[in-house]
Structure 1
């Protein structure tokens, strides 16, 4: 019967591993053989959770490797992996025992050749152009002579010295420098922050707001200039309310910020030349314009004086202009006296017939008719006033008749309201009288409950349930050793205390016999 439980084949001498031991051994082998590797492949399935870590796949036509970059490594990357990009990833091979797979921890990512960079650049340019960020209608005019110029560049390079030197030669202006990294992982974020920071300055504040922004950098490779191709920089340049000149690289270098800026300069020095005119040229032009203005004014005054003299020669003499009117005046003044006499005679001839018709009787009749019309008007007015007074009296009587019932209703309502208020006041007074007694009763009930709880929680109730309190030399004894050391013991029961008396002092511990530690 025991043969049924024996193994059919005896175990071999191969060692046994736990799952964790085997996973750890595989991890050590992979990490030891592939300390630092560079892997070329296509990026697929990019995931960036809220933790800030970056998860993506590296694949070719036959295999896929899981890749991960921790949050700190992602912040240092100059090129962020995007799905479809062909990259060269540098990192360490390791395993993930939790899912029984191997993966690569990527520390840096580079695009696989200039062709891939150009393809990515063209793809990004097309996408941003489709949003209208490069439209000519968005571009603003460069001010002719800006008062303050903001420069976004590295403070330690030759670019800023070239710009300042060129501005000093052409037309000195107030320059604000916002120092940024012009290449590397922090380049795009710092340049975008600088552009938005200049735009955030309040006009008239303690720090003057620039009238023009220049974003400048010297020449370099496509990788060195890549920070100016990032989307965050392009959007900051397109959103800038201040006119912006991009001067990134040499004349043959083109970045996406050149398309979004209001003006592109082939070099940083050319950007300074675009920003301000030549002061001496302006002064010379001003002097030339002033001389032309003086000559023009003198010439215009001379021409108009000559024209005035020509017109004056064409006018007739003054005496020729006044002789005719003077002769006519003399003629009419001689005829005026006779004309006045004839006019008076004619007026008198028309007045005499009319005066003959104006007799005293006619005036009296006219006055009588006027008095009659006035009396009629007075009678009509008196009747109208009488009717108006009667209607007013009727309205007054009607209002007086309505006032008495209204006053009665008002008094009745006030009486009823007073009665209700008096009843409410009596009810409140009764409640106020009863409140102290009720409050005292409630407090007394609470006090009784607390007293019963105190008695229940006290040790006297515990003694009634069959327990006792042992005191040695006046203190409560809780252990056998303490009871043995006490000279006098006292036991308290529910109905009283029992003293056990004094005991002789113990001299030696060896005299104690086993089993003689009883209190009794």
Structure 2
């Protein structure tokens, strides 16, 4: 009777694994459709290549897997960081592929002001290590900028305070880049505004600022959180335009204050740093102009006195011209007599020359010149003959040298062939010796390789055990029950299935045919 009862079918519902996993998932999601979980982020390595983020939330007693989908991750105000304690909002679900439950996070925030301060401090140290806060890279502010760019909310009291202060001190052209100074997108908008001002081209339709002021009124740590965003800090540090940070009150500090070229305690203070007082400049210029006029007057008076003193030391015009005038008068008196004497001398010289020029003398001179020309022509003919004889001798010598060239070339070719044969013989001997050395070295390396190969160890009764990924297993703790193993012996390799130590060994199966190993050294572990 008991046997009949044992063999009767059960009334319990039969589920497939997929149906059971789906039912559990629906039950968990219905029961925990909206939860807030407080814990410490663990195992965070940044977003996956797909854009999703996977990590864990843990406390001192438990741990739960967490995931943030790509679309939600891009909208987060606070990004997850390793070791940060947070409050995560989302829903609990399961992952049927591994029978695990996890929380799908839709929002994340640091767990209290203490966590925010710890996050700010950690971010400050990391950015300071990159050199973004170094004093050496900070720029000097322009003394009197013509255009000032202001990054702030266009509807708040901050922009009015800045404009009024600039109007009182030194009116300049102001360009306002409207941004949100509070909320999830405030950090990204401020970073884009700083980058946008730097991207303006000089001389373009929109004037490029010579100074940037990032301003906001006071508030709580959460209100000022956007100015601690890493994108804002990097944009401020990378700005080519000098930048003043005027965020919050004097006691409020944000990370942009460290990256900015100057920090102002208030937005009004930033306006005072940006421009000087025009009235003071006008008064100073007037004072300098008066001092300049007085200095010029004194300088001119001194120069006049110096010129008067030098003028008194100079001689008069009459005393300077007296001697030249006397020399001119004496020269003028003797000029007529000198001309008469010069004319008489020239006339006598002409008469002497004219007396020497007669027909007989001209004929004699022509005869002498003709004889001179004939003598020079004869000498030229003799010189030409001697030159021709010299050239003929040189040509004969060169012809003799050229006739001996073929014999010299033949001698050089013969000596070159003999030398080439000797070099060829020496090269054959050297190549034979080199090949012998290489063969002996290769044999020694082959013997060393065979002595170091683990196959020689396999021949002494040892075996190599690998898992299904062909990784070598050296410890029993690395093998779990049911693991497929590959055991390599000296003559081949077999497959085996691992069993736990408390299970009785199963009946031995016919070992598979050993695989033929390809020749080669194999792994050296």
TM-score by length of 1: 0.61
Alignment equivalent of 2:6, drawn from 5, 8, 11: 8
- CA 1:360 to 1:187, structure 2 compared with 1: closer, same or farther past 3 Å? same
1:220 corresponding residue in structure 2: 219
- CA 1:334 to 1:113, structure 2 compared with 1: closer, same or farther past 3 Å? same
Q: How far has the Cα of 1:190 moved from its partner?
A: 1.0
Q: Is the 8 A contact 1:237 1:257 kept in 2?
A: yes
Q: Deviations over 1:357-398 (max 9, x none)?
A: 76424652576479879999xx9xxxxxxxxxxxxxxxxxxx
Matched, 1:243 2:242: yes
Q: How far has the Cα of 1:7 moved from its partner?
A: 5.8
Q: Which moved more, 1:109-118 or 1:176-185?
A: 109-118
- Looking at structure 2, the residues matched to 83 and 122 of structure 1 have their Cα atoms a distance apart, in angstroms, of 14
1:252 corresponding residue in structure 2: 251
Q: Is the 8 A contact 2:44 2:80 kept in 1?
A: no
2:81 corresponding residue in structure 1: 82
Matched, 1:55 2:46: no
Q: Is the 8 A contact 1:220 1:249 kept in 2?
A: yes
- Looking at structure 1, the residues matched to 375 and 243 of structure 2 have their Cα atoms a distance apart, in angstroms, of 93
- Looking at structure 2, the residues matched to 250 and 373 of structure 1 have their Cα atoms a distance apart, in angstroms, of 119
Q: Is the 8 A contact 2:213 2:244 kept in 1?
A: yes
Matched, 1:157 2:159: no
Q: How many residues align?
A: 377
Q: Is the 8 A contact 1:150 1:198 kept in 2?
A: yes
2:295 corresponding residue in structure 1: 296
Q: Is the 8 A contact 1:42 1:60 kept in 2?
A: no
Matched, 1:37 2:39: no
Q: How far has the Cα of 1:47 moved from its partner?
A: 5.0
- Looking at structure 2, the residues matched to 259 and 346 of structure 1 have their Cα atoms a distance apart, in angstroms, of 105
- Looking at structure 1, the residues matched to 368 and 218 of structure 2 have their Cα atoms a distance apart, in angstroms, of 116
Q: Is the 8 A contact 2:214 2:243 kept in 1?
A: yes
1:272 corresponding residue in structure 2: 271
Tell me the SS of whatever aligns to 2:44.
strand
Q: Is the 8 A contact 1:46 1:81 kept in 2?
A: no
Q: Which moved more, 1:328-337 or 1:364-373?
A: 364-373
2:170 corresponding residue in structure 1: 171
Q: How far has the Cα of 1:286 moved from its partner?
A: 2.5
- CA 1:198 to 1:354, structure 2 compared with 1: closer, same or farther past 3 Å? same
Q: Deviations over 1:287-312 (max 9, x none)?
A: 22332232232222222222212222
Q: Is the 8 A contact 1:44 1:59 kept in 2?
A: no
Q: Deviations over 1:78-104 (max 9, x none)?
A: 210022323232333333344322222
Q: How far has the Cα of 1:66 moved from its partner?
A: 0.9
- Looking at structure 1, the residues matched to 329 and 273 of structure 2 have their Cα atoms a distance apart, in angstroms, of 81
2:193 corresponding residue in structure 1: 194
Q: How far has the Cα of 1:13 moved from its partner?
A: 7.8
- Looking at structure 2, the residues matched to 114 and 215 of structure 1 have their Cα atoms a distance apart, in angstroms, of 24
- CA 1:361 to 1:239, structure 2 compared with 1: closer, same or farther past 3 Å? farther
Tell me the SS of whatever aligns to 1:303.
helix
1:104 corresponding residue in structure 2: 103
2:485 corresponding residue in structure 1: none
Tell me the SS of whatever aligns to 2:6.
coil
Q: Deviations over 1:91-127 (max 9, x none)?
A: 3333334432222232332234555444433443344
| Larger Rg, first or second structure (1 or 2) | 1
- CA 1:77 to 1:317, structure 2 compared with 1: closer, same or farther past 3 Å? same
Q: Is the 8 A contact 2:41 2:81 kept in 1?
A: no
- Looking at structure 1, the residues matched to 167 and 123 of structure 2 have their Cα atoms a distance apart, in angstroms, of 38
Q: Deviations over 1:259-296 (max 9, x none)?
A: 33333322221221222222222222232233223223
TM-score by length of 2: 0.60
Consecutive unaligned residues in structure 1, runs of 5 or more: 380-520
- CA 1:50 to 1:26, structure 2 compared with 1: closer, same or farther past 3 Å? closer
- Looking at structure 1, the residues matched to 182 and 62 of structure 2 have their Cα atoms a distance apart, in angstroms, of 34
1:412 corresponding residue in structure 2: none
Consecutive unaligned residues in structure 2, runs of 5 or more: 382-525
Tell me the SS of whatever aligns to 2:287.
helix
* Superposed counterparts of 1:320-399, under 5 Å: 320-334=319-333, 359-361=361-363, 363-365=365-367, 368=370
- Looking at structure 2, the residues matched to 274 and 306 of structure 1 have their Cα atoms a distance apart, in angstroms, of 49
Q: How far has the Cα of 1:22 moved from its partner?
A: 6.8
Q: Is the 8 A contact 1:46 1:57 kept in 2?
A: no
- CA 1:263 to 1:357, structure 2 compared with 1: closer, same or farther past 3 Å? farther
- CA 1:366 to 1:216, structure 2 compared with 1: closer, same or farther past 3 Å? farther
Tell me the SS of whatever aligns to 2:182.
coil
Q: Deviations over 1:191-215 (max 9, x none)?
A: 1111222223333333333232221
Q: Which moved more, 1:171-180 or 1:60-69?
A: 60-69
Q: Is the 8 A contact 1:247 1:266 kept in 2?
A: yes
- CA 1:374 to 1:156, structure 2 compared with 1: closer, same or farther past 3 Å? farther
Q: Is the 8 A contact 1:31 1:92 kept in 2?
A: no
Q: How far has the Cα of 1:224 moved from its partner?
A: 2.8
- Looking at structure 2, the residues matched to 7 and 276 of structure 1 have their Cα atoms a distance apart, in angstroms, of 100
- Looking at structure 2, the residues matched to 373 and 104 of structure 1 have their Cα atoms a distance apart, in angstroms, of 130
2:93 corresponding residue in structure 1: 94
Tell me the SS of whatever aligns to 2:250.
coil
- Looking at structure 2, the residues matched to 282 and 72 of structure 1 have their Cα atoms a distance apart, in angstroms, of 56
Tell me the SS of whatever aligns to 2:132.
coil
Q: Is the 8 A contact 2:154 2:176 kept in 1?
A: yes
Q: Is the 8 A contact 1:43 1:86 kept in 2?
A: no
Q: How far has the Cα of 1:182 moved from its partner?
A: 1.5
Cα root mean square deviation, aligned: 4.0
- Looking at structure 2, the residues matched to 255 and 339 of structure 1 have their Cα atoms a distance apart, in angstroms, of 106
1:508 corresponding residue in structure 2: none
